Structure 1
Amino acid sequence: MLFLKVFTESIRQAWAQLVGNKLRAFLSLLGISIGIFCIIGVFSAVDSLEDSLNGSLAKLGDDVVYIDKWPWKDNSGDWWEFFQRPYPDHDDYVALKKNLATASLVSYWTVPGSKALKYNKNSVEGGYLFVTTYELDRIFNIEIEKGRYWTPNEYNIGADKLLIGAKIATELFQGIEPVGKTVKMGGRKYEVVGVFKESGGDLINPLDFDDAIVVSYNNAGRFVNLKNRSQYGGTVGVKAKDGITTAQLQDEIRGVIRANRRLRPRENDNFALNELSMMADALGSFFGVLNLMGWMIGGFSIIVGMISVANIMFVSVKERTSLIGVKKALGARQFVILLEFLTESVILCVIGGLMGLVLVYFGTLAINGFIDDFAINLSMKNALLGIGLSAMVGIFAGAVPAWQAAGMDPVEAMRS
């Protein structure tokens, strides 16, 4: 009951400060508002980026190991050594598919170059030819917006059927239903059996199919020399079985590829085993730097705001010295006076913090209005963090003035 009375009185006094000294209060709270805006704004952007990153990893599969010639994370070693490594090829894919016990799926893909597609009088230049084995759609949970994927029989016989990206379909067919249409590529006729869903604004998307012309490995071997490892090197993706960690999977992959490439026991690996989590780790460090920058920029503004609020509280104590003396003479304890001024300081700072959160909210609306593929949102967690940080600033700003007021001699206070 006592706390409720003190809290009510503190709200009244804080409101009196805001109404009676509008400009002074506004300028004092502006520093806190800008600080909260900087910190929570950066946190909201980073959290949204991380959510997009995690969504991308979930879509592409965080349990997939990629065999490549180049390491994704640490390529600070001998560049020439990496350059001389052979690309993974279809032979590696066959060996892995045959011998891996910890894998649920193995897929191989390569990009031999760009191709032109023609449909009647329309043509699209610059679409990249994507050659893949049958398992690709399950490795990456690929979504097909129109049509379907190849049937096992179509893949095995190398049927002249292909899938295309959303951008290719839009430019080539210009509103016509693409599925079932016959197109020409390099003088060969192909039936379009599927159109991939538009990739959108995923933060990590190593396989953007919007501009892709996807044909099966068995079909592409008829017009591309896919055995030329140095020219048409590709990537092998291996998905772990349920309950198998990527570390266990990598151990088995390493043994199978070393045996397939006939590497001696003392020879170093001439391949790299990569995971999408490596990208996430690298971006995680970047996000940490952004958060630190937010703290640094916002921190200076908050310190300035805290000093300004402390100044308001010192003035408030000075103006109410006689009233403090009367309260103490009537029996008010020190902790009541202390709590009253601390609560008033906290309320003022929380008002400043709420102003900063309003700026963040409208700032995110403005940014999202210009950016379609990526959305920044003010989460409840960050909003509560902003309010909590403002309250903490209020405690620090009001501690000394509140202590000064609580320690006053009632007689001396009433005489002033």
Structure 2
Amino acid sequence: MVDSLEKNIKSSFSFLGTNVLRVDRFPFSNGPGEYPWWKYFRRPPGTYGEFVYLKERLKNAEAITISASANTTLKRGSSSFEGADLQGVVFDHQEVYDVPVMDGRYFTELEISASRNVTILGAKIAAALFPQGTAIGKELKIKGQKFVVIGLLEEEGEGLFDLPSKDNACLIPFGAFGKMFYMGRWGIEPTIAAKGSDSDKGLVALENEMTGLLRGKRGLKPIEVDSFALNKSEFIQNAIGAVFDVISIAGAVIGGFSILVGGFGIANIMFVSVRERTNIIGIQKSLGAKNYFILLQFLFESTFLSIIGGLTGLMMVFAFTFVPFGSLEIFMSANNIILGLGLSTVIGMLSGAIPAAMAARMDPVEAIRTN
């Protein structure tokens, strides 16, 4: 359950991308104590000119994009969709962020550069405005302007949080977005983002290069602090992972009590089994059975009993994976299965060790005489 919850929460932040470095005014983490929030607020937002400047000069980035978003209402005839996440993007946006086009196609470079009125819709918007037939090639209105649908995004489903979803997304060229909305400090602020390579661990090289280029572009003196924040998409996921590390420890402690009770239960069963089979143990030893044979016999029984319990637990969890829990999706990973069976094996061996040793050390004559 802990792993499932962590995975679902992290997937809710998938819109931030992977190996992505964003240019923002505010850092994802808290800034230095001597740098109050109002100084962050006074920082200038990123601009299209800075995007072009970085695109022409960045060497450690696989791709770079600039985007802006706003909530708006889409209309088609008498139908409308409120709260659509309208996003203005450039051609390389698909190289930085995941844009899973299920039907139709992505924008062409000509459509982006010419700011054509074309759009790619999310699954919810397409279902609401085009309930019958395909939306490809049909028109809708955004702030009174006609746009032609050229693509549809894959359905993403609900997340655990009220975060941007591809199902509510409506992508249009960045230039077309700029014609409808004012962008700048007192308007909608665009976001510049660059995707680093897998070989650049921690995006150190990309971060240093972007810092130097942006400082030069903004004319900052060596003694001046940065007027921007470079935020890594992995920061939030790492913070979530740190929280779940603590939760996992708490879960392990709670689970440890269950394991302890189960271990004593198996040990008690094995003690009873040894007492009830004392005569049989004596007969086996009188016929030449070695101590290790008796020992392994009871160890195998206790281990097998514990593994049956572990398999029963795994089957119960597997059954829960088919039960809908809203936006929470329960899953079983190979690591969970291996851990469960491995732990069951170890607990079975430890629980049966003392009863098995007692059985192996019995004197055959006394054991046969026992009623």
- TM-score, normalization by structure 2: 0.85
1:94 pairs, out of 43, 52, 59, with: 52
Amino acid at match of 1:248: A
Equivalent residue, structure 2, for 1:390: 344
SS of the equivalent of 2:172 reads strand
Q: Which residue of 2 aligns with 1:31?
A: none
Q: Measure, in 2, the Cα distance between the counterparts of 1:60 and 1:225.
A: 24
Note if 1:285 corresponds to 2:239.
Answer: no
Q: What do the CA deviations read for 1:219-272 (whole angstroms, capped 9, x no partner)? A: 23333322x224321211112368555221111001011111222212222222
- Partner in structure 2 of residue 413 of structure 1: 367
After superposition, where does 1:87-166 map in structure 2 within 5 Å? 87-111=45-69, 113-166=70-123
Aligned partners of 1:147, 1:332: CA distance in 2, in Å?
A: 75
Alpha-carbon spacing, 1:172–1:408, altered in 2? closer, same or farther (3 Å): same
Q: Verify: 1:240 aligned to 2:191, yes or no.
A: no
**How many angstroms apart in 1 are the aligned matches of 2:166 and 2:315?**
39
Offset at residue 407 of structure 1 (A): 2.3
Corresponding residue to 1:231 among 172, 178, 187: 187
CA distance in 2 between partners of 1:324 and 1:357 (Å): 34
Query: Whose relative contact order is higher, 1 or 2, with alpha carbons under 8 Å and at least 6 apart?
Result: 1
Q: What is the number of equivalent residue pairs in this alignment?
A: 367
Identity of aligned pairs, percent? 36
* Closer/same/farther in 2, CA of residues 399 and 283 from structure 1, 3 Å limit: same
The answer on 1:345 being equivalent to 2:302 is: yes
For 1:72, which of 8, 13, 28 is the aligned residue? 28
Q: 1:161 to 1:341 in 2, by over 3 A?
A: closer
- Whether the 8 Å CA contact 1:53–1:203 is kept in 2: the answer is no
Instruction: Describe how 1:308-327 pairs up with structure 2 within 5 A.
Output: 308-327=265-284
* 1:56, distance to aligned residue in structure 2 (A): 8.1
Question: 2:19 is matched with which residue?
Answer: 63
How many Å separate the matches in 2 of 1:179 and 1:86? 39
CA deviation profile, 1:306-338 (whole Å, cap 9, x unmatched)? 112211222222222333333334433322222
**Residues 280, 393 of structure 1: alpha-carbon distance in 2 compared, 3 angstrom cutoff:** same
Quick check: which one's helix share is greater?
Answer: 1
Q: Which amino acid aligns with 1:91?
A: G
CA contact (8 A) 1:116 1:186 kept: yes
How far apart are the structure 1 equivalents of 2:154 and 2:172?
17
TM-score normalized by the length of structure 1: 0.77
Which deviates more, 307-316 or 61-70? Answer: 61-70
Partner SS for 2:304: helix
CA deviation vs aligned residue, 1:50-104 (integer Å, no higher than 9, x gap): 49958986x9752322111222245575451433333222232122112212223
Where 1:222 maps in the other structure, the secondary structure is helix
Q: CA RMSD in A?
A: 3.1
* Deviation larger for 388-397 or 75-84: 75-84
SS in 2 for 1:221: helix
